[in-house]
Chains A and B, each alone.
Chain A
Amino acid sequence: MGRFGIKKQKGTPGISTSSLPDIIFMLLFFFMVATTMRETTPLVKVSPPYAFEVQKLEKKSLVSYIMIGPPSNKKLGTESRIQLNDRLATTDDIQNFIIAERESRDEIDRKFLTTSLKVDKEVKMGIVTDVKQELRQIGAFKINYSTRKGVNK
């Protein structure tokens, strides 16, 4: 009798974890693909303004960045500064920066180089204009004002 007795159900059966590695791997690959490593450490604070008519910046490898904003290091004051790559710079350095950026790209790609201006919204136009004049002088005409999509808060 006991042999054919109905087995007693001991609580609810645990969830099978055999597919856990698969799920983890899936997430892992997702993040690996989606990750963009930050190449430079920001030395200036940039919180970009908001706008509606924004376009996506295509071909990240063909973009050189110029950041303008108040320095993160409080000792340097609050006057807006320009950051090129990993250091603070002045407007005189921009032409050399663009030349160096051009030289690091293939010859075919050079004319597609875009300069992305990441400028803090509190910055005054004077310094931005100086940068734009330098870019005009050196012939880097394609620019992109970095903005976020949305409404100003």
Chain B
Amino acid sequence: MADIAFLLLIFFLVTTTMDIDTGIARRLPPPLPENVDPPDVKDRNIFTVLVSKSDRLMIDGKPGDIRALKDQAKEFLANPANSIDLPEKEMKQIDYLGEVSVSKGIISLKNDRGTSYDMYIQVQDALTAAVSELRDELSMEKFGIKFTDLSNQDYIDAIKSAIPVSISEAEPENIGDN
């Protein structure tokens, strides 16, 4: 009996792969109808992130750094000082949260066809981090626990609608490097 168990044990030991699939979840936008122009968005509401083919960043028209991207994105989305250069806010009534200001800011991400996937993921990661930190802060303020620790689906949905992941990806093109 023990021999058979040993045999099976060794078989499963060898075949086991312990990798849990993890990743960054995203939702692709539906394809645009051909004869519809994309809606106009005010300049102050857009935060452009360009990634060149040699993996260099251009953040809002200025050369940027990947390490600073998260904080810049966070400041853009939160607009704590109600600066007129940063996005407008809209007061919205959301269940469980009451009246909250929802940013109209959109992060526009554009990459070159030659950008490496690694860099793209790092940019996506930084932007996701900015959103999830803001969500954590709002959740701490309203419910006293972090967003990631929330278990009530209604609360999760409320926070999600207060701070949406508004990342828009442009169709890529060959952006010149120099």
Contact = CB atoms under 8 A, between A and B. Distances in A.
B27 A141 contact: yes
User: Interface size class for chain A?
Assistant: 35 or more
A51 B121 CA distance: 7
A16 to B, nearest CB: 14
A52 B129 contact: yes
Interface in A95-153: 114, 116-117, 119-126, 128-129, 132-133, 135-137, 139-149, 152
B23 A55 contact: yes
B115 A124 contact: yes
B13 interface: yes
B18 A144 contact: no
Contacts of A142: 25, 27-28
Contact of A145 (B5, B13, B24): B24
A38 interface: yes
A147 B5 contact: no
User: Interface size class for chain B?
Assistant: 35 or more
B124 interface: yes
Contact of A125 (B13, B116, B128): B116
A140 B21 CA distance: 19
Contacts of A126: 113-114, 172
Contact of A63 (B13, B21, B26, B30): B21
Q: Which one of A20, A31, A122, A133 has the highest number of Cβ atoms from chain B below 10 Å of its Cβ? A: A31
Interface string A28-62: 10011011111000000000110111111100100
Interface string B97-139: 0000000000000011111111011101100110010000000
B122 A49 contact: yes
Contact of A31 (B12, B27, B28, B114): B12
Interface string B9-52: 10011011110111111111111000000000000000000000
A54 B23 contact: yes
Contacts of A31: 9, 12-13, 16
Interface of B: 1-2, 5-6, 8-9, 12-13, 15-18, 20-31, 111-118, 120-122, 124-125, 128-129, 132, 171-172
Given A142-B25, A145-B26, 10 more contacts: A21-B1, A27-B9, A55-B23, A55-B24, A116-B21, A122-B116, A132-B28, A147-B121, A147-B125, A148-B22
